Amino acid sequence: MKVKSRFGALAAVLCALVMLTTVFSAAVMVAAQTEPMIWTEWGDYCQADLPQTVNVYGDGFGSGVIIAVEVVGPNNALVYSTPSATIGANGLLCSFVLQPGSLEGLYTVTARGGGQTATVTFMDGNEFWNQAANDGLGSSKPDGMPDGTSQSPQIEWVTGNLGQSKEAVTEGNFVPTYPPNVPGHINYRMIIPTTGASSLPAGQYKWTIQYGFTKGGKMAIDFLTTSYGLKGTDALLYNDLSGPEKTAISGMVANGPTSTVSFGPDNYPAPNTLPSNLLGGYVSDRQAVHDAAFLNNVLSNPIRSLRMYGATINNIAAPVHTGAVTGDSDASVVVTFTIPTSNSGYVLATWGGHIAIGTADAGGYGVGNGATGISGSPYHMIFGGVNDMSGNSLINGGNDLSLSAETVAV
């Protein structure tokens, strides 16, 4: 009886181990799943070019998964829906036509399938708000850097969320050229029309850029910087455009930026310092390390700057922080700019978001406290809207670009 009891106990232990192994394996499989994402070909479908076919692409839902897609317009009315789309070999999920007379503003595409959800937004007749995809890990297509490569286009301007199949960045102050270096930043672009409906005529305005600063007490985008890799007269700034937009903007870019102004030091959280687990000090301490790394690279100038075409930057205010740095927090800067009467129809701005570094040296915030220490899609760059000088809203904010944590390598 004692022998049987021992074997029975051993069997129970082995059974428990098998169950634990099964649960652990399942957890690993779940953790390894790629976060689903969807995107459209363009970030903005101009009213003048309608009708236009909107192609929606997807990735990360799993092979053969049936996906329900809904498109909601600026008035929250349903524009398009299909209950049973699947992702094709080229990534195409579904297509629909945006007709003349459609409402101008923000459209939201939602895809649901296999218990997962992904969303993306695009504009109709309003601002372009894009981030640069560099085609993912292992690609030779860098984030806006054509030097030494032959692929075309070397960068793709996209909306919504960027996943690993579309983007690869890293923690670190790595200078051009890209490749062989992997950028430690994300490039962004904004285009606003200055003629027609939902446009900004000649005058002075305030534009707000908002970005995700911390997530769960770990650093995400710690400061704004230059769109390194993109030259001042680079055709990659408009390579995705067509028609009158491309004609007008290519002419502006060919002449170089109208105005270039550096983002100032961020002394947050003065008069206090950052928490000890983030190694104390200020954000400006990390900016100084970044600046020193890029200073002598001829392809990096100007350092940590906003470039604007078709308008003059009058001022960039110091960042304003909201939320507790020990949890989820954001930062925002207000850019005052002036559109001249000689403007050719558009204003284009380009800048970068610096990926926070999780190292114990002067440029970092402590091991594990940088971008790679965060899961999900915490790297947000949000269009905060444009106001007149009296504070009246002229273009509503809310258009959000995000980056999945899986795209960031140490």
357-407 residue pLDDT tens = 999 999 999 999 998 888 876 678 999 989 999 999 888 787 788 877 777
Encoded tokens for 88: 């094709």
Residue with tokens 């970030």: 43
Mean pLDDT, rounded, for 213-220: 94
* Gap between the Cα atoms of 233 and 255, Å rounded: 7
Encoded tokens for 303: 């350092």
Domain count, the chain: 2
Top-confidence residue, 24 or 250: 250
Q: Please report, for the chain, how many H helices and E strands are present, in that order.
A: 3, 25
Note whether 265 and 284 are within 8 A (CB): yes
Note whether 204 and 336 are within 8 A (CB): yes
- Is residue 134 situated within a structural domain? no
Residue 360 and residue 228 share a domain: yes
Domain boundary at 105, 126, 147, which?
Answer: 126
- Is residue 11 situated within a structural domain? no
Is the pLDDT at 24 greater than 70, yes or no?
Answer: no
Residue 102 and residue 43 share a domain: yes
The helix/strand/coil state of 246 is: helix
* Gap between the Cα atoms of 358 and 364, Å rounded: 5
Pseudo-torsion of CA 7, 10, 12, 17, nearest 10°?
-150
Residue 341 and residue 222 share a domain: yes
At 138 the pLDDT is 42
- Is residue 103 situated within a structural domain? yes
Q: Which residues pair with residue 209 across a beta bridge?
A: 333, 383
- Is residue 246 situated within a structural domain? yes
Share of the chain above pLDDT 70, in %: 80
Residue type, 8: G
Pairing of strands 221-225, 169-170: unpaired
Residue 216 and residue 75 share a domain: no
Encoded tokens for 24: 């652990």
Domain boundary at 95, 126, 157, which?
Answer: 126
Residues composing the chain: 410
* Gap between the Cα atoms of 175 and 295, Å rounded: 9
Note whether 26 and 32 are within 8 A (CB): no
Residue 185 and residue 50 share a domain: no
Helix/strand/coil percent split, the chain, to 5: 15, 35, 45
Residue 272 and residue 347 share a domain: yes
Note whether 347 and 202 are within 8 A (CB): no
- Is residue 241 situated within a structural domain? yes
Residue 214 and residue 114 share a domain: no
Encoded tokens for 28: 């690993």
Among the listed ranges 176-180, 220-224, 338-342, which one has the minimum average pLDDT value? 176-180
The helix/strand/coil state of 25 is: helix
**Phi and psi angles of residue 399, each rounded to the nearest 5 degrees, phi first:** -65, 120
- Of 304, 298, 285, the closest CA to residue 365 belongs to 285
Mean pLDDT, rounded, for 3-8: 37
At 241 the pLDDT is 85
Note whether 356 and 220 are within 8 A (CB): yes
At 274 the pLDDT is 96
Residue 324 burial by Cβ neighbours in a 10 Å radius (0-12, 13-18, 19+): exposed
Q: What is the pLDDT of residues 102-134, one digit of tens each?
A: 877 778 899 999 999 998 877 775 567 888 886
| DSSP string of 247-301, one letter each residue | HHHHHHHHT--SEEEEPPP--TTTTS---GGGTSS-HHHHHHHHHHHHTT-TTTP
Residue 87 and residue 176 share a domain: no
Is the pLDDT at 22 greater than 90, yes or no?
Answer: no
From first CA to last CA, the distance across the chain in angstroms is 58
At 404 the pLDDT is 74
- Is residue 138 situated within a structural domain? no
The helix/strand/coil state of 356 is: coil
* Gap between the Cα atoms of 238 and 241, Å rounded: 6
Q: What is the pLDDT of residues 142-167, one digit of tens each?
A: 444 333 333 334 577 877 777 666 66
Is the pLDDT at 320 greater than 70, yes or no?
Answer: yes
Helix (H) or strand (E) holding 24: helix 2-32
* Gap between the Cα atoms of 285 and 266, Å rounded: 9
At 180 the pLDDT is 77
- Is residue 40 situated within a structural domain? yes
Mean pLDDT, rounded, for 16-24: 40
Q: What is the pLDDT of residues 280-297, one digit of tens each?
A: 999 999 999 999 999 988
Mean pLDDT, rounded, for 62-87: 93
Residue 264 and residue 384 share a domain: yes
At 128 the pLDDT is 78
Residue 98 and residue 199 share a domain: no
- Is residue 131 situated within a structural domain? no
* Gap between the Cα atoms of 46 and 43, Å rounded: 10
Is the pLDDT at 19 greater than 70, yes or no?
Answer: no
Q: 373: which DSSP letter? A: G
Residue 187 and residue 77 share a domain: no
Top-confidence residue, 137 or 387: 387
Top-confidence residue, 82 or 26: 82
At 200 the pLDDT is 87
Residue 170 and residue 115 share a domain: no
Is the pLDDT at 21 greater than 60, yes or no?
Answer: no
Top-confidence residue, 158 or 272: 272
Mean pLDDT, rounded, for 185-194: 91
Full residue range of the structural domain in which residue 386 is found: 166-409
Q: Sorting pLDDT into bands at 50, 70 and 90, what band is 139?
A: very low
Is the pLDDT at 170 greater than 50, yes or no?
Answer: yes
Looking up residue 117, the CATH number of its domain turns out to be 2.60.40.1930
Mean pLDDT of the chain: 82
